[in-house]
């Protein structure tokens, strides 16, 4: 996370620790009070503050066994990194 006082930039890596490909992924995370996503890349978000869900973009949903992909975002507000970060695959 890169914090500049009035905002920050974060990157989340989605890793596949298994041997077979994942076909789609969903990350959920909770932003601290006063934080909200202003820009997101390599994913599609539902919600911009509080509890946020990010799903794969059409081009990065398949993650090979032992592979990874990442998405990033900028947010306003400052302070702590998102909490409760979990990743699921259908």
Question: CB neighbours of 89 closer than 8 A, spacing ≥ 6?
Answer: 22, 23, 24, 25, 26
Res 5: pLDDT: 81
Res 47: pLDDT: 97
pTM for the full predicted model: 0.93
Rounded CA separation 66/52 (Å): 26
Q: What is the pLDDT of residues 29-84, one digit of tens each?
A: 999 999 999 999 999 999 999 999 999 999 999 999 999 999 999 999 987 889 99
Reported as type and span, the H/E element at residue 85 is strand 83-88
For every residue of 49-72, DSSP letters joined together read BSEEEEEE-TTS-EE-TT-EEEEE
Rounded CA separation 22/5 (Å): 37
């Amino acid at each position: 996370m890169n914090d500049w006082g009035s905002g920050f930039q974060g990157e989340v890596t989605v890793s596949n620790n298994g041997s077979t490909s994942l076909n789609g992924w969903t990350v959920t995370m909770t932003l601290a009070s006063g934080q909200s996503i202003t820009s997101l890349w390599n994913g599609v978000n539902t919600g911009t503050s509080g509890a946020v869900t990010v799903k794969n973009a059409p081009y990065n949903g398949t993650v090979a066994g032992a592979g990874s992909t990442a998405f990033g975002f900028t947010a306003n507000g400052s302070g702590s990194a998102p909490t409760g970060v979990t990743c699921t695959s259908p």
